[in-house]
Amino acid sequence: MQAMYLANYFIAGCIASSLLGWIASLHPMAFRAIAFLLAALGIIWASAWLLDYSLSQFLKISIQQLQAVLISVLAVLVVGLGVFLCS
Amino acid sequence: MFLKMIVLSSSALVLWLAPLVGLDKKVGWHKSIQGLSLSAAVACAVSAGNIGRHLADESEIQELKTRAIKADVEDEIATEVYISQAQRQQEAEAVLNPVERLERALALSCGDEDGTANVQNEIQAEDVEEQRAERVLELKAKGWGKAKIILEVWGVSKGGSQKYKDAETLYERLIRGET
């Protein structure tokens, strides 16, 4: 059951990233805003990998859980934007 | 709830993929439909995720309850086994106790019989001695001789036999007044 709800949240993330791509396709300014958002997210994501020990202590989760979340975020963005761009 | 979650997640997948694949991005209203369906798909997926999390929590609580009930049942069984063992022991002791009482009673009654018999024997022996003493004194008063009295009272004729010697000792004792 836990795997099912995690899968549902994963799908929700994928659809949300597709929605971001759709918003980016509406207007050049929206594209820039989404690009800025993705760039900021990329910086945060990389910083989280670098600061994983202190961040796991701050969030009170294990390092494995934090790494799993970071990999999931990357997979969500890749799958969602990939589906939008390839369709 | 589980069925609702399945329907919502399926709807999310359909609403996500179908407009993106089937509609043209260059047409205006197609693009609007894509945006609406993507928003609806996000909402469906998030709702399905929430329901799934709720079900996971419930199943975890149910598992804990099952474990607790199982532990309670095991504890109850162990307690019943202990109680039944103690009860069996008490019953066995209760069964054994009357037997022990009976044995004690029998032993006491046997002891009483022996004691009574000894007492009775002693009383009889004393009676015999008294009768002998009276008979001896009576015959002595009549002027009977020693050998004749011993022959009359003890039934032993004069001679060197051990029986006569014993009878003579008793006669002498009775004559001296020792009982």
Q: Which residues of B129-154 are buried (b: 16+ CB within 10 A; e: fewer)?
A: eeebbeebeebeeeebeeeebbbebb
| Identity at B92, one-letter amino acid code | A
3-class SS at A62?
coil
Q: Which residues of chain A have pLDDT under 70?
A: none
C-alpha count within 13 angstroms, C-beta hemisphere, residue B133: 13
pLDDT value of residue B113: 57
Which one of A12, A23, A26 has the shortest CB-CB distance to B45? A12
Domain spans of chain A?
A: 2-86
Q: Note whether B5 and B48 are within 8 A (CB).
A: yes
Q: Note whether B9 and B45 are within 8 A (CB).
A: yes
Number of inter-chain CB pairs under 8 A, A vs B: 77
What span, in angstroms and rounded, lies between the C-alpha atoms of B37 and B45?
Answer: 12
DSSP string, chain B: -HHHHHHHHHHHHHHHHHHHHHS-TTSHHHHHHHHHHHHHHHHHHHHHHHHHHHHHHHHHHHHHHHHHHHHHHHHHHHHHHHHHHHHHHHHHHHHHHHHHHHHHHHHHHHHHHHHHHHHHHHHHHHHHHHHHHHHHHHHHHHT--HHHHHHHHT---SSS-HHHHHHHHHHHHHHHT--
Which chain A residues touch B49 with a CB distance below 8 Å? 5-6, 8-9, 12
pLDDT digits (tens, 9 = 90+) for A12-36: 999 999 999 989 888 889 889 989 9
Which chain A residues touch B42 with a CB distance below 8 Å? 12, 15-16, 19
- How does residue B13 score in pLDDT terms, banded at 50, 70 and 90? confident
Is 0.80 surpassed by the pTM of this model? no
Residues 21..60 of A with a Cβ closer than 8 Å to B: which? 22-23, 25-26
Q: What ipTM was reported for this prediction?
A: 0.79
